[in-house]
Chains A and B, each alone.
Chain A
């Protein structure tokens, strides 16, 4: 339950940027905001599958690179007039090391 897997160090993710974690079931995008908050969401835009990790990160949101939908990184919800949601995953940053809940990998594998 409380198993966390280390996925990398904070500084490996660019500020206001993202990197992907590849899992058997697909990519999870790990974001780092200007304020050093870290979020993980599914790397697939509910609109037409855009890779969200490639979007521009601003405040606590990301803008999809394909057609500019904006998602709240904490809730995964689309902002503004667009409707949709991406899955979010628990992450934990301790001492500059980023951990993701191990169950995420299991879930993803289902």
Chain B
């Protein structure tokens, strides 16, 4: 007969213990779990990303229902145990379920502490502990009102940041002079406060809450000094207390927490306890790393291994607020026997502090740049003598002799015992060893087998580097390709976050999305500049310095540093006047080459940079504007003569081409866009190898797209048939807008189609007329700001610095 194991509480600690138990001795127990929360085991740590909208509840479930079925576990959801009968060895829940046990585990976690002031029972006052609390907050945030978070510790700040993301007007109220004083020294606490303020969260420190105001619902908070701030939601996040009520009724030994020994045994030999509800040697615990250590010990005990014991070690803390880098570990109080090393870089917002005792690190606080946290923490835990590296210690691992290491080499240099995942206590050799032993190939594999990076996720970068180191080139990091070396995010994530986080400038984006370089590189900056323009038409101010030279000076640079100038010839039509002006300009500025391009217009090649404004002024005077032959934007619209002249022409292809070009010029797109309109299926305008083509037929217009004839030769794909010219223009503009919003920078239309699929494009542009209209309207809106001739602007003085030298020396001066 199997023994019967009953567990009270279904949190992270017992969840981990069961995993261990099933690994070692899967058939030993029949397991029954009572959980007061009506749900499976989930990653409580990750409630903050759920609150901020970055994750859903499904993303943070640790054990889904299938896991319980697989292991034959009876899980009573929403059943709170009220009595333990130690004599008859049974437990009974509030709703009357009784189960007997051979072994009992109490894992009731903590309860939020509620400061005893009037008004705490009003509607709109919540704590921050479980999914129900998060749901209440998210619901309240829908009304976008004012929230007051009482408590400036880890939980309070995560709640504040989440509510702020949800659009609430948030004030954090903290009783101490600086935030997170238990994990941070005042200097780091100050920096943290400033960064909260910078994201629009108000911070009140040294504020003593007197009462919560309101009749039925909360309306405000009053402080000891008499001041009042209005509030529609109050979150109480001032701390936690071990949940000992049940153990106390059962008369188990308990102080602040349930008293257990290093083997997790309570005062009753059949009853164990673990997690936040326990007290070991007078200490209680509020972070998962030590709880997982307890879980390993308990699992060993349950399997009969009595040697396993629990020894608490210093834990490291990180704040899970996107954009805030903060790391603290160990003890950082000042003292006579202690020395400290401090490094500050105010402009970069970096602060680092190490506390040493007898040349050994006993504590560290890092703000802004936390990359070396694990290295310091590792030395702290191993009690390493740092005398030799004292002078450079604070600069981190990279500076310990030799040239600075690149990040991967730095990870390679970590000792085997270095802890990579703080939440789950997984060290480097465990990860690399498991990768090799089990033949793991992906981040998800490593998460599944070692738990590393499976909780708060802040070590994901390190784990990926270990994968790379262990597997070499065969490691194919997730499908998402980072935009460039400056970030781990792919193009799509960046575009999504620009909208989700309302990022409106490149510096803001780099700050919020934690760019790794100070101002990007030649790969990401042009892409970001395009994404900003496409997302915030009319609002975003174009950043010329983030454009390639051609788009900055609106001409194509040539191999000798001169430029080529291509004026528009709408739909390939020109006139004697335009041709005369071009001829005159070529003479006047001694332009060495005049060529007919492959795009039905004329190229003036070899123009000196300083002559560009003069050339443009003359072309403008004849009514010509930039042909954008350099632009990631609309290039040419080629046409054939169509029904105006041709004996086979079915529609006015020239006229439609001109209309399209006049309507769409100036728009910026992910890559260049070329169009053509042919008057009949003989297709003299070569419409079937353009980004967008129209083939006129008797019954109307066949619209084709996603062709190219450059590096790749691609015939177009049919999009749809429409009956009128107006419809054709609407479809083409809507299609272009969809591409503008979805295309990755430099991804030409045919590559975009290949990635997103015909089905999704036709669904938006062909089948759903409301959607088509929506994209069309957005195109029209953005064109309001786009159709400014860049040549004319520069003729009138814009960017004059581009076209003149800063200084001239020794160049013969004209006689006076």
Binding site for B on A (CB under 8 A): 5, 7-8, 12-17, 19-24, 27, 30, 33-35, 48-51, 54-59, 63, 65-66, 68, 70, 105, 109
The distance from the CB of A22 to the nearest CB of chain B, in whole angstroms, is 5
Chain B, residues 672-712, CB within 8 Å of chain A (1/0): the string is 00000000000000000000000000000000000000000
CA distance A33 to B546 in the complex (A): 13
Across the interface, name the chain B residue whose C-beta is closest to A109.
Answer: B810
A-chain residues with CB within 8 Å of residue B633 when the two chains form the complex: none
Given A56-B525, A56-B546, A58-B525, the answer on whether A19 and B518 have CB atoms closer than 8 Å is no
Across the interface, name the chain B residue whose C-beta is closest to A59.
Answer: B518
Decide if A56 touches B522 in the complex (CB within 8 Å): yes
B522, B548, B557, most chain A CB atoms within 10 A: B522
The distance from the CB of A51 to the nearest CB of chain B, in whole angstroms, is 5
Which residue in A5, A12, A63 is a CB contact (below 8 Å) of B809? A5
- A-B pairs, 5 with minimum CB distance: A63-B522, A19-B806, A54-B549, A24-B810, A16-B545
Decide if B518 touches A34 in the complex (CB within 8 Å): yes
Would you call B808 an interface residue if the criterion is a C-beta within 8 Å of the partner chain's C-beta atoms? Answer: yes
Given A54-B549, A58-B517, the answer on whether A24 and B805 have CB atoms closer than 8 Å is no
Further contacts, 5 of them, CB under 8 A, given A7-B807, A56-B521, A56-B545: A13-B801, A14-B544, A58-B521, A65-B548, A68-B522
Chain B, residues 545-578, CB within 8 Å of chain A (1/0): the string is 1111100110001011100000000000000000
Would you call B519 an interface residue if the criterion is a C-beta within 8 Å of the partner chain's C-beta atoms? Answer: yes
CA distance A39 to B169 in the complex (A): 45
Would you call B520 an interface residue if the criterion is a C-beta within 8 Å of the partner chain's C-beta atoms? Answer: yes
CA distance A35 to B521 in the complex (A): 15
The distance from the CB of A95 to the nearest CB of chain B, in whole angstroms, is 17
Across the interface, name the chain A residue whose C-beta is closest to B810.
Answer: A24
The distance from the CB of A89 to the nearest CB of chain B, in whole angstroms, is 12
CA distance A99 to B519 in the complex (A): 26
Q: Which B507-547 residues have C-beta < 8 A from chain A? A: 517-522, 525-526, 544-547
Decide if A59 touches B517 in the complex (CB within 8 Å): yes
The distance from the CB of B403 to the nearest CB of chain A, in whole angstroms, is 14
CA distance A48 to B557 in the complex (A): 13
The distance from the CB of A17 to the nearest CB of chain B, in whole angstroms, is 5
Would you call B713 an interface residue if the criterion is a C-beta within 8 Å of the partner chain's C-beta atoms? Answer: no
Decide if A21 touches B809 in the complex (CB within 8 Å): yes
Decide if B518 touches A21 in the complex (CB within 8 Å): no
Q: List 20 A-B contacts (CB under 8 A).
A: A8-B806, A8-B807, A16-B545, A17-B545, A33-B519, A49-B559, A50-B561, A51-B561, A54-B549, A54-B553, A54-B561, A55-B549, A56-B526, A56-B547, A57-B545, A58-B525, A59-B521, A65-B548, A66-B557, A70-B521
The distance from the CB of A20 to the nearest CB of chain B, in whole angstroms, is 5
Would you call B811 an interface residue if the criterion is a C-beta within 8 Å of the partner chain's C-beta atoms? Answer: yes
CA distance A48 to B558 in the complex (A): 12
Across the interface, name the chain B residue whose C-beta is closest to A51.
Answer: B561
Decide if A59 touches B526 in the complex (CB within 8 Å): no
Number of interface residues of B (CB under 8 A): 28
B-chain residues with CB within 8 Å of residue A68 when the two chains form the complex: 522
Decide if A15 touches B545 in the complex (CB within 8 Å): yes
Given A22-B805, A22-B811, A51-B561, the answer on whether A56 and B517 have CB atoms closer than 8 Å is no
B-chain residues with CB within 8 Å of residue A15 when the two chains form the complex: 545
Chain B, residues 724-737, CB within 8 Å of chain A (1/0): the string is 00000000000000
Instruction: Please count the residue pairs between chain A and chain B whose beta carbons lie under 8 angstroms apart in the complex.
Output: 90
Across the interface, name the chain A residue whose C-beta is closest to B518.
Answer: A59
Given A56-B526, A59-B517, A65-B548, the answer on whether A19 and B557 have CB atoms closer than 8 Å is no
B-chain residues with CB within 8 Å of residue A35 when the two chains form the complex: 518
Across the interface, name the chain B residue whose C-beta is closest to A17.
Answer: B545
The distance from the CB of A87 to the nearest CB of chain B, in whole angstroms, is 16
B-chain residues with CB within 8 Å of residue A27 when the two chains form the complex: 805
B-chain residues with CB within 8 Å of residue A16 when the two chains form the complex: 519, 545-546
CA distance A102 to B749 in the complex (A): 53
Decide if A58 touches B519 in the complex (CB within 8 Å): yes
Given A56-B522, A65-B557, the answer on whether A22 and B807 have CB atoms closer than 8 Å is yes
Across the interface, name the chain A residue whose C-beta is closest to B521.
Answer: A58
The distance from the CB of B268 to the nearest CB of chain A, in whole angstroms, is 64
The distance from the CB of B27 to the nearest CB of chain A, in whole angstroms, is 58
Decide if B806 touches A23 in the complex (CB within 8 Å): no
CA distance A48 to B561 in the complex (A): 11
Decide if A24 touches B801 in the complex (CB within 8 Å): no
CA distance A65 to B630 in the complex (A): 13
Decide if B809 touches A24 in the complex (CB within 8 Å): yes
B-chain residues with CB within 8 Å of residue A59 when the two chains form the complex: 517-519, 521
The distance from the CB of B63 to the nearest CB of chain A, in whole angstroms, is 46
Which residue in B519, B544, B552, B805 is a CB contact (below 8 Å) of A20? B805
Across the interface, name the chain B residue whose C-beta is closest to A24.
Answer: B810
CA distance A70 to B517 in the complex (A): 15
CA distance A19 to B810 in the complex (A): 18
CA distance A34 to B510 in the complex (A): 13
The distance from the CB of B149 to the nearest CB of chain A, in whole angstroms, is 35
Across the interface, name the chain B residue whose C-beta is closest to A64.
Answer: B522
Decide if A20 touches B559 in the complex (CB within 8 Å): no
Decide if B805 touches A21 in the complex (CB within 8 Å): yes
CA distance A22 to B812 in the complex (A): 11
Which residue in A12, A48, A55 is a CB contact (below 8 Å) of B559? A48
Across the interface, name the chain A residue whose C-beta is closest to B507.
Answer: A34
CA distance A30 to B808 in the complex (A): 13
B-chain residues with CB within 8 Å of residue A24 when the two chains form the complex: 809-811
The distance from the CB of A30 to the nearest CB of chain B, in whole angstroms, is 6
Q: Which B96-154 residues have C-beta < 8 A from chain A? A: none
Decide if A58 touches B520 in the complex (CB within 8 Å): yes
Across the interface, name the chain A residue whose C-beta is closest to B520.
Answer: A58
A-chain residues with CB within 8 Å of residue B548 when the two chains form the complex: 56, 65
